[in-house]
Amino acid sequence: MSNIKPSLYTCLSPALLHLYDVSDSIVVIIDVLRATSTIATALYNGAKEIIPIDNVAECIKIGAELNAITAGERDGQVAEGLQYGNSPFEYPSSFIAGKTLVLTTTNGTKLLHMALANGAQEIITGSFPNISSVCNYLLSKNKNVVLACAAWKNKINIEDSLFAGAVVNRIKERFTIQCDSAQLAESLFMTARPDLYEFMKERNATHYHRLTKYHLEKDIRYCLTEDVAPSLPKYIDGKLVNGIV
C-alpha cells in the first residue's frame, strides 16, 4: 500500500468549482439546508432512488413519466405542480419505502450537475444526518476528495461550510490537505461545535433567517444532527441510491 495520502480539497461555492480537479476525485455534494439532509433521510427510510432535477417543469415531466413522487419548494412553499416539499420530515419510512422520488432543488442539484459536467470520478452527497457514513466511505476508498458546498446562489454559507469543516476534522489525518478553504471550514466548525444551532442563530446565518421565517426551526435542528439517517447517497446513472444496503 502506498504511503502517499490522497488529497482533500474544500470548495466553498459552486462558482469556484472550476479551480479544483474533480476528474480523479470523489466529490461530496453538500447542501445541508435541506437538500442533502432530505436525500440522506429518504434513502435511509428506504426510498428506492432519488432523481435530482434543477427545475420544476422537468420535475413534473419526469415524475409523470415514472409515475413517481415529485417534490420541491420555491420560496418556502411546495412548488406549483409538485406534490411534496423539501422537509426531511415528509419522508418517513411508512411513506417513502420502495418509492422513487423526483426532487427539485436549486443550489445542490446545480452543483451536482456541474461536478458531473467537470468529469467527477464519483459523486456522493453529504449532510450531518449521514456524516459518519460519508466519512467512513471516504476513509475506506482512500481516493482524492473534493468537499463541494452548494452555498446559496454562489454565496458561501455557514451551514455547508460547517459540514465540510466537520468532515475535515474527522478525516484529516488520512489526507494531504493543502487547501486554505478546508482550514477555514474546520476553524468555523471548531468554533461552532459546542452548539451548531445556537451558532447559526447567533451569527445571523442568512439561511437560518430564511428558514425560520417559514417556521422551520425543527428542520434546521434535524439537519444539524449527526447520524440520524446513516445512508450513503451515491449518484449512479442519473439517480441517487443508497450505497449502504
Q: Which residues bind a second copy (CB under 8 A)?
A: 12-13, 15-16, 19, 153-158, 161, 177-181, 183-185, 187-188, 190-192, 203-207, 209
- Cβ 90 to a second copy, closest distance in Å? 27
Beta bridge partners of 70: 102
- Nearest CB to a second copy, comparing residues 102 and 177: 177
- Nearest CB to a second copy, comparing residues 56 and 156: 156
- Cβ 192 to a second copy, closest distance in Å? 8
Spatial strand order of the sheet with 8-11 comes to 8-11, 144-149, 25-30, 122-126, 233-236, 239-242, 49-53, 100-104, 69-74, 77-78
- Cβ 210 to a second copy, closest distance in Å? 10
- Nearest CB to a second copy, comparing residues 23 and 191: 191
- Nearest CB to a second copy, comparing residues 74 and 155: 155
- Cβ 181 to a second copy, closest distance in Å? 5
